[in-house]
Chains A and B, each alone.
Chain A
């Protein structure tokens, strides 16, 4: 069964901390994505990547960066966490048959 694995299910961090969210896929997909999902706002694209070491900004990249050093791994970095970054973060990879999502990381910034 194909999988996208996110390193943490729940995370609590303090304001100002640097936060790393890790995502690994085993489908050899080239395309990977980071979304955040908030009630009433749907899925919002933060960053995506079409290849190793390649990244493109999505709709809401401010306050985030990403890293793709290996094809299977796509990391989301919150440079200095703020309370408005409290959210559900979803990683996904995509191929011919659409997107496969990880189970999400619920991040709380206090």
Chain B
């Protein structure tokens, strides 16, 4: 079993739709969590951190469920520009040392 698992998708949604991705992790001692976005043939870039209390950044909401060991990303009112691969990242230490990356979930938003 992988340490971090994501549904690879692809998720194909129309503009304006709401879409949610989940990511499960196996190490219960994991302490910090992130979502990264990777556009085609580009490097991953930090989208948002995930806190125990949940956090929101515009149309994006990230949640952490420690009991069930998963994190989620919700995108509301999808835009064409949201099309990308979304990577879940889990770290066992708060100083963001060596993290474990999921393989990513691919989202395509269509007109």
Contacts and interface: CB of A to CB of B under 8 A. Distances in A.
Interface stretch (B58-66, B71-79, B91-99): B91-99
A42 B49 contact: no
Interface string A80-101: 0000000000100011111111
Contacts of A41: 103
B87 to A, nearest CB: 8
Interface stretch (A11-19, A43-51, A62-70, A71-79): A43-51
A43, A50, A95, A100: most-surrounded residue (chain B CB, <10 A): A43
Interface residues of B, number: 21
B98 A99 contact: no
B57 interface: no
A13 to B, nearest CB: 20
Contact of A31 (B94, B96, B104): B96
A41, A50, A99, A100: most-surrounded residue (chain B CB, <10 A): A99
Given A42-B103, A42-B104, A101 B98 contact: no
Interface of B: 32, 34, 36, 42-46, 49, 87, 89, 94-99, 101-104
Nearest to A101: B43
Nearest to A95: B96
A33 interface: yes
A43 to B, nearest CB: 5
Contacts of B95: 31, 95-96
